[in-house]
Every structure is written in C-alpha cells, then in structure tokens.
C-alpha cells in the first residue's frame, strides 16, 4: 500500500509552483497645476489653495487675484492699513490682513470665522480660508472659475470682491504673476 502523504509530496515536487499573487500598486495620478517657483512661500500657499479649494484654474484669474493681494498687503497677513505689523485684535482702524478687510462686518467676519473654525485671524492660513469662504468672494467665484477672460474682465470681478479705493499697481502686479506662473 502506498502512503497518500508520499504521493501528495511527490506530486507537489513535480508540479510547477505557482508564485503568490503580486498586488499592483495603485495608479498615481499626477495633477497638474499652476506653480510659481519664484514666489515666496506665502504666495505659493495662496496660489495652491485657490486652485485646490476654490477650483480656480485660469492663469489670468489666478494672476489677478494674486496681483490684488500683492497690492493690498504684499502677502503679509498681520498687516494693518498703513503698514503696522500687528495681530488681528490690535488693528484699530483701516483695513487688516491679506485683502485689507476694512468694513466692520468684513473685519469682524474674519474674527468670527476663525473663532468658529479654530484658526488664527492673524495667520496666513486662517485668512486664506476665510477669504475663500467669505460671501463677497463667493459672490464672484464663478467669474474667477471661468475661462478665457481678460485681465481687465477679471479685474472688474476683483473690484466687486474687494471694493478697493485706489487701483495702484494691481494690474502691473497681475502681469508680473502672469510671467511667473508655469503649468506643471
């Protein structure tokens, strides 16, 4: 009588072994976006957040928003109108922050938003997250999400958003960003 264990052992010896299944790594999707290698880390953060959180992908729209922030605050989040570098609660008159929130409703809106969402109203991150959720920005968001508009058309949307008193160098800054933004 032949031992069944011996037969199964011999069969296993002569059978080709099947390698264990190899799991394929998940496919990596590389998302292209507008980048600004020459920009400061603050500018890069705002640029990335506008694309990721607000779905603004038009180069001219992004450059216009960036140019307006440059005019308003030079991307300094803790700046009070006139240039004083102070925390949110120490700016007593004029505008404050990235876009120089000036009216009482907008200024206090920043503070209320950051209190509700546990962010610092003096910080870049807190202000950017408020900015992209502020009613005035949301009112013009679809225009910034559009494509094929000119700088002048986007600048009109920026005016409705910010309501600036002095145009200043906004357009010049916008064209500077247009020259610095690259699609990678």
| Res 59: pLDDT | 98
| Res 31: pLDDT | 86
* Beta strand segments in the chain, E: 34-35, 182-183
| Res 165: pLDDT | 86
* Of 121, 103, 122, 105, residue with least CA distance to 113: 121
Alpha-carbon torsion (66, 69, 73, 77), positive or negative: negative
Entry field: residues in the chain:
184
| Res 25: pLDDT | 61
- Residue 119 to residue 166: CA distance in whole angstroms: 30
3: three-class secondary structure by DSSP = coil
| Res 16: pLDDT | 54
- Residue 165 to residue 174: CA distance in whole angstroms: 18
| Res 6: pLDDT | 47
| Res 3: pLDDT | 55
Q: Which pLDDT tens digits describe the chain residue by residue (184 residues)?
A: 555 554 455 455 455 555 556 666 666 566 899 999 999 999 999 999 999 999 999 999 999 999 999 999 999 999 999 999 999 999 999 999 999 999 999 999 999 999 999 999 999 999 999 999 999 999 999 999 998 999 999 999 999 999 998 899 999 999 999 999 999 9
Helices 41-54, 59-73: crossing angle, 10 deg rounding:
130
CATH architecture type of domain 34-179? Orthogonal Bundle (1.10)
Helix (H), strand (E) at residue 35? strand 34-35
Domain chopping of the chain, boundaries: 34-179
Residue pair 54/132 in contact by the 8 Å Cβ criterion:
yes
């Amino acid at each position: 009588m032949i031992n069944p264990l011996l037969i199964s052992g011999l069969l296993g010896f002569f059978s080709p072994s099947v390698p264990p299944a190899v799991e394929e790594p998940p496919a990596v999707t590389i998302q292209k976006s507008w980048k600004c290698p020459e920009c400061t880390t603050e500018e890069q953060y705002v640029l990335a957040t506008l694309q990721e959180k607000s779905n603004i992908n038009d180069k001219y729209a992004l450059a216009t928003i960036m140019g307006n922030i440059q005019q308003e605050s030079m991307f300094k989040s803790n700046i009070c109108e006139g240039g004083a570098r102070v925390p949110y609660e120490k700016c007593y008159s004029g505008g404050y922050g990235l876009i120089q929130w000036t009216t009482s409703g907008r200024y206090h809106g920043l503070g209320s938003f950051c209190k509700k969402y546990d962010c610092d109203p003096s910080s870049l991150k807190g202000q950017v997250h408020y900015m992209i959720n502020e009613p005035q920005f949301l009112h013009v968001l679809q225009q910034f999400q559009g494509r094929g508009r000119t700088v002048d058309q986007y600048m009109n949307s920026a005016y409705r958003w910010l309501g600036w008193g002095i145009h200043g160098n906004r357009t010049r800054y916008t064209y500077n960003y247009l020259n610095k933004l690259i699609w990678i």
